[in-house]
Chains A and B, each alone.
Chain A
């Protein structure tokens, strides 16, 4: 028996998402439409103009029966197909081989895929819950996800389901077939930009040691040493802010040209290889350069993971340094625990987080390009907390796609333009424009050009969270 609160939760997430990413008319159509969550056997008996979503067919952890269906000049990628209802009067729409809906002639629509379980499982971290593997940093990485081998990580399953529901609702409100074209009803795609300020000065011991190691590393394989690292060592010893602090200022100026805004997540607190390498003083020096339209958040230090004292100490110091009360954050190394972290952060007055993503692949960790409230499975209730999963990290995008990285980004954004939603992307200052990493030169600029060409708008994480799930 599915708890009622789970159904209400999913419905709320869908309605709020559609309220932000679709036209008022579309959003109202969805609200007016009767959407019934019930057992499959009841759904197939229903004879009314409504959407009946089966909830009693469990979804396998490894997606099955994957297929695509044409929708609004893109394709929906659906999986865990539901059986076609028996009996007279049922048709597959838009066609028999690629169904999005099973439609009875009375007007009843049943999604052709396991909409409820697919989405609920994604939003509640079922993969994390059922697979105990973790990497050395304690993370559930993309390589462990069954969706990774099925090439589903870049499928925004939640957004696609929402778009299909909007199309169905618009059709039902006009007593017609579900719409598969949403002309004028999808809001422009949104980009949620952010910058993790891990390193603002390139001359710390750890960064310089890594460069020294890179010089010698090839010798192990009897290859010539990478002497160019000597230059980076000398350069940042003489001019520590080159390509780090200065890049942060450059990113601010670049975003201003595109009329985009972003969040700067500041890493302070304890130092070390995985800690804050540049100290806190430099954060205070960066603050005057951050314009009002941008936001400042806390980059939870590595050692603060579920540690109340250390987290409080970092937060207190950052608030002093920045002169602001930070309410938005992201975990350094994307360390989080799906069962404990949201409560933990909320207890520290963080209201919005952008930690939920994969370090090793780009993609929609929870199947959503946008914002959602996590759900507490134990207490069967949604948390008063807003999560905006991080979809793209610049280094991951580059390592995954190489020369095709910009095209891959464009593909994702173009798809969101058709199904509605937001893509969250992090670009580190040190990877903005740095000859030490030549592949990064001009990369962020090219991504922003794509955003502009596709008519994307930009909001910071806290603004979009306030829009979708007001506190």
Chain B
């Protein structure tokens, strides 16, 4: 067994390995979008494989992502594509792949590895921190919303009575929640529209990223503090506008014709709407609050018209902007569901931002970093 970096031409076998074990249908184009633009200046793709006599039996990848804080922009990596063949589990290949990747991170001065996962045990063993369990924002539109959200579909006519009762329960819960959310949303809509007009805020759909997107990220961390993904035009182009899984609708908010933020959202193959990204920065808190409300309301209305069964977003931590989104989302009709992945974090011990990054409430991250159809 050889644990090494991927070689040219191995993209297809790596993608096939993923598709086989996750019963997925990811295309080569989609694989390349995820991992190929990330070659570093030494032409190494941060994608490690376990090679068993020319057969790929394990993968671990990094997606380099730049973050920004008040001191400036700095490099990090997000962990992706962790997979070891079931026959090899417990034999240390997961650790061996990470050993290669830890070296990679340190030699290239990445400040940390971060990610979100349900499987944290193995990561804790090799030194990852688990600073927080995330929750979700959820707004159902229809009776199928809860079923889709929990990924539980009663498809067989021969399903047991228990499953059928559960399915009916989900539908009833969805319907009641949807009706109540709709009522709340109605009340919020009028207030938000009036406030948007007063504050001269308007929304526009963009079909390419705004040139000054990077400035917004920098202004954002100056206003809200902490650290966030550095979303410059190139990043948004790659992540949102060229996403081969599903592009996002990108709605930019302007106040007096000045860009102050945006909301990106999409609809997944499961029919659920997803808030992919949202950020707003303006020195007046009224304007910021109104813009967030307007963007959320607009996303909800558009996703409803698109036929989504509901909308999901992430509530990650207690970053002040994350809290503002949650508070505003509740007024628009969202529920905060305490169920989600864990954040995982491994900080480079040579990083001069160690303590800052370890405080996870400093982070503002949205679904924009996730691999796949929803951003």
A contact set with B: CB distance below 8 Å: 246-247, 249-251, 253-254, 256-259, 291, 293, 432-433, 441-442, 444-445, 449, 452-453, 455
Contact = CB atoms under 8 A, between A and B. Distances in A.
Nearest to A242: B305
A432 B266 contact: no
Contact of A253 (B142, B306, B309): B306
Interface residues of B, number: 20
Interface string B267-305: 101010000000000000000000000000000001011
Given A250-B306, A433-B307, 17 more contacts: A246-B305, A247-B305, A249-B302, A250-B304, A250-B305, A253-B249, A256-B249, A257-B246, A257-B247, A257-B267, A291-B205, A291-B207, A293-B207, A433-B305, A441-B142, A453-B25, A455-B27
B248 interface: yes
A257 B248 contact: yes
A259 B267 contact: no
A442 to B, nearest CB: 5
Nearest to B269: A449
8 contacts: A249-B302, A250-B304, A254-B307, A256-B207, A257-B248, A259-B247, A441-B142, A444-B307
Contact of A250 (B248, B269, B302): B302
A452 B247 CA distance: 12
Nearest to B248: A257
The 9 residue pairs across chains A and B that have the minimum distance between CB atoms: A250-B305, A433-B307, A250-B306, A254-B306, A246-B305, A253-B306, A442-B271, A257-B246, A257-B247
A432 B205 CA distance: 22
Contact of A254 (B29, B267, B309): B267
A444 B305 CA distance: 13
Contacts of B246: 257-258, 452
Interface in B214-240: none
Given A254-B267, A291-B207, A249 B247 contact: no
A432 B247 contact: no
A432 B308 CA distance: 12
A122 B360 CA distance: 67
A353 B247 CA distance: 30
A257 B249 contact: yes
Contacts of B306: 250-251, 253-254, 433, 445
Contacts of A442: 271, 307, 309
Nearest to B241: A259
Nearest to A435: B142
B354 to A, nearest CB: 40
Given A257-B247, A258-B246, A432 B307 contact: yes
Given A256-B249, A257-B246, A453-B25, A445 B305 contact: no
B266 to A, nearest CB: 5
B247 A256 contact: yes
Which of B142, B302, B304, B306 has the most chain A CB atoms closer than 10 A to its own CB?
Answer: B306
Given A258-B247, A455-B27, A441 B307 contact: yes
B337 to A, nearest CB: 23
B247 to A, nearest CB: 5
Contacts of A452: 246
B271 A445 contact: yes
A444 B302 CA distance: 16
Nearest to A455: B27
B138 to A, nearest CB: 19
B98 to A, nearest CB: 33
A247 B305 CA distance: 6
Interface string B248-273: 11000000000000000011010100
Which of A257, A291, A442, A444 has the most chain B CB atoms closer than 10 A to its own CB?
Answer: A257
Dominant SS at the A interface? Answer: helix
B29 to A, nearest CB: 8
A120 B267 CA distance: 44
Contacts of A246: 305
Contacts of B207: 256, 291, 293
Contacts of B269: 449
Which of A250, A291, A432, A444 has the most chain B CB atoms closer than 10 A to its own CB?
Answer: A250
Nearest to B242: A259
Interface string B131-152: 0000000000010000000000
Contacts of A432: 307
A243 to B, nearest CB: 9
B267 A445 contact: yes
Interface in B100-147: 142
Nearest to B142: A441
B183 to A, nearest CB: 15
A251 B306 CA distance: 6
A290 to B, nearest CB: 12
A443 to B, nearest CB: 9
Contacts of B305: 246-247, 249-250, 253, 433
A260 to B, nearest CB: 10
Contacts of B247: 256-259
A112 to B, nearest CB: 36
A259 B241 CA distance: 9
A432 B29 CA distance: 29
Contacts of B205: 256, 291
Contacts of A433: 305-307
Nearest to A248: B305
Contacts of A444: 307
A371 B282 CA distance: 52
Contacts of A249: 302, 305
Contacts of A254: 267, 306-307
A256 B248 CA distance: 8
Contacts of B29: 455
A442 B267 CA distance: 11
A115 B269 CA distance: 41
A445 B307 contact: yes
Nearest to A247: B305
Contacts of B302: 249-250, 253
A251 B25 CA distance: 25
Contacts of A251: 306
Contacts of B25: 453
A107 to B, nearest CB: 37
A441 B308 CA distance: 9
A136 to B, nearest CB: 33
Which of A254, A453, A455 has the most chain B CB atoms closer than 10 A to its own CB?
Answer: A254
A452 B29 CA distance: 12
Contacts of B249: 253, 256-257
Contact of A257 (B266, B271, B304): B266
B234 to A, nearest CB: 19
A298 B75 CA distance: 53
Nearest to A432: B307
A449 B304 CA distance: 18
Contacts of A259: 247
B33 to A, nearest CB: 13
A459 to B, nearest CB: 17
Interface string B1-45: 000000000000000000000000101010000000000000000
A211 B225 CA distance: 57
B307 A250 contact: yes
Contacts of A445: 267, 271, 306-307
Which of A291, A433, A441, A442 has the most chain B CB atoms closer than 10 A to its own CB?
Answer: A442
Interface in B129-187: 142
A93 B117 CA distance: 55
A284 to B, nearest CB: 19
B198 to A, nearest CB: 23
Contacts of B307: 250, 254, 432-433, 441-442, 444-445
